[in-house]
């Protein structure tokens, strides 16, 4: 079996999501700010959803050599993420603290997931497989967008605090 077979791709995706879940759970456990803690818990919960969907697809493909239709939801992390992005919460997160580093590392994880899912969506010939991996790529893209906005707010806060502006 090659590492690009549907089963191997699904196994890689499940492993990636499990690692993401573990990372977000650890970040939530370590975070001091309640809103940041809640944000990381929400991210972990979404990874659990992805694991369940991918595991279901793995089982179906292993048994029937085909992907099943997935009831694809719209990504929903906006409410909690907006709380994290608020000026009060952003000012509580130090870019040098664990939360700032966790956001940066999470961005790299999400980029990796997007690449895996988008590449598989592009390569897929099965419409259900293509839809599944495109949906996952889009959802992870939402995660990356939220993390990027948080990272940007942290960066600008540090720049302001240290008067890094050139004007």
112-150, pLDDT tens digit by residue? 999 999 999 999 999 999 999 999 999 889 889 888 888
Confidence of residue 160 (pLDDT cuts 50, 70, 90): low
E strand or H helix that includes residue 130: helix 127-161
Distance CA 119, CA 114 (A): 8
Domain residue ranges of the chain, discontinuous segments joined by +: 6-160
E strand or H helix that includes residue 31: none
Which of 80 and 123 is assigned the larger pLDDT?
123
Average pLDDT over residues 60-84: 73
Q: Is the pLDDT of residue 153 over 60?
A: yes
What is 6-160's CATH number, 3.40.640.10, 3.40.50.10380, 1.20.1260.10, 3.90.1640.30? 1.20.1260.10
Q: Which of left, alpha, beta for 68 (phi over 0: left; psi -120 to 50: alpha)?
A: beta
pLDDT at 56: 93
Query: What's the CA angle centered on 148, arms 146 and 149, to 5 degrees?
Result: 65
pLDDT at 164: 67
For every residue of 106-127, DSSP letters joined together read HHHHHHHHHHHHHHHHHH--SH
pLDDT tens column, 26-67: 988 988 777 778 888 888 998 999 999 999 999 999 999 999
CA distances from 74 to 46, 98, 139 (A): 12, 30, 8
Give 96's contacts (C-beta < 8 A, 6+ positions apart): none
């Amino acid at each position: 079996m090659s590492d690009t077979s549907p089963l191997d791709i699904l196994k890689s995706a499940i492993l990636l999501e499990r690692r993401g879940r573990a990372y977000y759970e650890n970040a939530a456990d370590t975070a001091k700010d309640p809103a940041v803690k809640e944000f990381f818990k929400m991210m972990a919960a979404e990874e659990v959803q992805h694991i369940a969907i991918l595991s279901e697809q793995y089982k179906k493909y292993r048994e029937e050599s085909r992907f099943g239709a997935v009831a694809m939801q719209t990504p929903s992390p906006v409410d909690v993420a907006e709380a994290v992005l608020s000026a009060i919460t952003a000012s509580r997160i130090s870019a040098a603290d664990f939360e700032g580093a966790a956001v940066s590392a999470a961005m790299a994880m999400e980029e990796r997931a997007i690449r895996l899912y988008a590449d598989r969506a592009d390569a897929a010939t099965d419409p259900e497989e293509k839809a599944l991996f495109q949906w996952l790529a889009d959802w992870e893209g939402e995660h990356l967008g939220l993390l990027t906005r948080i990272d940007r707010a942290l960066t600008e806060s540090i720049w302001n605090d240290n008067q890094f502006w050139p004007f």
